[in-house]
Structure 1
Amino acid sequence: MKFIYSKHYQDMHNDYDSPVFLAFCRFIMEQPTPPTLRQIKVVFTEASFSALLERLVAKNVIKRDQRRYQLNFPIYSKKDQIACLEAFQQAHPFQNQGDIFTGTWLQHACHHQNSLQYFYACDENIPQATIYQVSHPMFQWFTVSQVDWPKTMPAFFVANQRQLTLAVYQELMRLVGDVDVPYYSDQVGVIFERILKHKKVRPSIFLRSLQLTGIVSSEESPSFLVPHHDTMTEPEDIGLPVERKTLFMERLLLAQMLGESVSQDTLFFKRK
């Protein structure tokens, strides 16, 4: 089982990643009725468990009602996966995948995942693409990935915010250090603008970071190696109601869009 959640829940990511939380979820799922605290403590005897349980209740991940405890989030199965894909195919019967997964669709999905508050779980074998984002007045930079930590700057900054030390980002950390997102975005915004205008770009650690992550080429006059588009001012409706199952479906479809690719970066530039 894997857990998918919005920024609202990220301050407790260590709890959700712990084996104790997973074991607790499975324990509750196996009970015929929601267990009491006495029943729970028979199994979970660690001194630290009571504090964990209180944090989960305070965060609304676990619901406490009449002194009994239950999961307060949906768990999607293979059956849900099949149903979502069939429903989407029925809604778009004569369209190719490439026609559906446009920049507008991606922007809409990213907006859902960045603006809503959600927590859900699904089977470990169900693909769920993660979306990372760097925003700037000039551009939006999205990474869609089937792995938790792809080698891309939007994901690098999220790892830094969580104070994670990951091998995949060691080279980037040595290069740009703990530079903050707004300053980094300003610097690469200048680089992007010069590339769009076919002007030369001076060597810098910011240009090097874009080259290391495969965003631009290593030539003397760099060019983009990833898709880049104008930003749509009013994204069209993609035909999905905004709810937790919408997010499950969107992440499922984005993973399907990636196919065999591990991740994909896409840039959207604001129209002037």
Structure 2
Amino acid sequence: MKFYYGGSKKEAYQNIACNKTFQHLCRYLYQHEQSILRDLKQNITMPDLEKTIDTAIELKLVLRENRRYRLMFPVVSKEMSITITQEDAFQVALKQLREESPANFLAALNYFYNLTQQDHFYGVMDSISLAGVAVLKSEELTLISGQVEESIRTLPQYFDALTKEQEAEKSDLYAIIGDVDPIYAGTQFAYIIQRVEQRKKVRPSIFTQALIMSEILATDESGTLQLKIPTLTSGGKNLITIPSDVFRWQLLFAKLLEDRKDNFIQYILLTKN
């Protein structure tokens, strides 16, 4: 079972999700609802079982009622995801997202990001393609990206992964910019992007390299830097009306990226002074 989580309890969720005892507990309770403690101890022999159960109860991930235990979070399967993607409302939202203006698409992507910042926790039993969303903000710009693959390809995704140092170190970006402060980096990115927009010369730097590696910038045949992604100065309005739960939105953007044959999508919102 793979876990997805976020919000104000993200750190606590992350700690327990990485706990092998909790993983065994969830698999067992998924298959055996309303188990008593004796059954759990017989089938899960880890010494920290009771402590893990208490932590899960505190986080409202497990319910203890009448001396019986059950999972409190949703667990989704491949069949459930297929059913959702076949719903009329989902298909309408997908069609609308394909046809949205850049400003409204950005608004929908930002709405998706805000959903992921709310407390949520769920499990996935099967291999399901789900999209994630990440944001890098500074005073001058907001970089926002949605992606389906686990390898780190975008700058927002990279800086999000810096909180999990081992993940960030696996990225090629780490060899270029390391653990640079995200606010300082955002300022440098904004300066370079604005100069490219104004067709001004940009000096080589690690930040320019990072923008090229993350496919925000590219060089044309003459060696001139060009922007590869949409740059906006204001957002639009989110018009997507599917239910506001993280799993549906992860499915929605994963399906969109699959249709586009892309692994990620990214936008720039510049703050004009």
TM-score of Structure 1 vs Structure 2, range by shorter chain: 0.7 to 0.9
Task: Map 1:67-106; keep pairs closer than 5 Å.
Answer: 67-89=67-89, 92=92, 95=95, 98-100=98-100, 102-106=105-109
C-alpha deviation, 1:266, in angstroms: 2.3
Q: Given that residues 77 and 126 in structure 2 are in contact (C-alpha distance below 8 angstroms), is that contact kept between their aligned partners in structure 1?
A: no
> For 1:123 and 1:147, how far apart are their aligned partners in 2?
18
Task: Map 1:1-272; keep pairs closer than 5 Å.
Answer: 1-12=1-12, 13-31=14-32, 33-89=33-89, 92=92, 95=95, 98-100=98-100, 102-114=105-117, 116-165=118-167, 168-169=170-171, 171-218=172-219, 220-232=223-235, 235-242=237-244, 246-259=245-258, 260-270=261-271
C-alpha deviation, 1:120, in angstroms: 1.3
One-letter amino acid of the counterpart of residue 217, structure 1: A
C-alpha deviation, 1:89, in angstroms: 4.7
TM-score normalised by structure 2 residue count: 0.84
One-letter amino acid of the counterpart of residue 150, structure 2: D
Provide closer, same or farther for how the CA distance between residues 157 and 20 of structure 1 changes in structure 2, counting only shifts above 3 A.
same
> For 2:77 and 2:131, how far apart are their aligned partners in 1?
16
> For 1:221 and 1:126, how far apart are their aligned partners in 2?
40
C-alpha deviation, 1:216, in angstroms: 0.8
Structure 2 residue matching 1:235: 3-state secondary structure = coil
C-alpha deviation, 1:63, in angstroms: 2.3
| Ranges in structure 1 where 5+ consecutive residues have no aligned partner | none
Structure 2 residue matching 1:265: 3-state secondary structure = strand
| Ranges in structure 2 where 5+ consecutive residues have no aligned partner | none
Q: Given that residues 107 and 235 in structure 1 are in contact (C-alpha distance below 8 angstroms), is that contact kept between their aligned partners in structure 2?
A: no
Provide closer, same or farther for how the CA distance between residues 124 and 8 of structure 1 changes in structure 2, counting only shifts above 3 A.
farther
C-alpha deviation, 1:18, in angstroms: 4.8
C-alpha deviation, 1:257, in angstroms: 0.7
C-alpha deviation, 1:95, in angstroms: 4.5
Deviation string for 1:210-235 (max 9, x for gaps)? 11222211465421122333432x62
**Aligned structure 1 segments of 4 or more residues deviating by more than 4 angstroms:** 88-91, 93-97
C-alpha deviation, 1:128, in angstroms: 1.1
Deviation string for 1:53-88 (max 9, x for gaps)? 333222222223343322111122334323322334
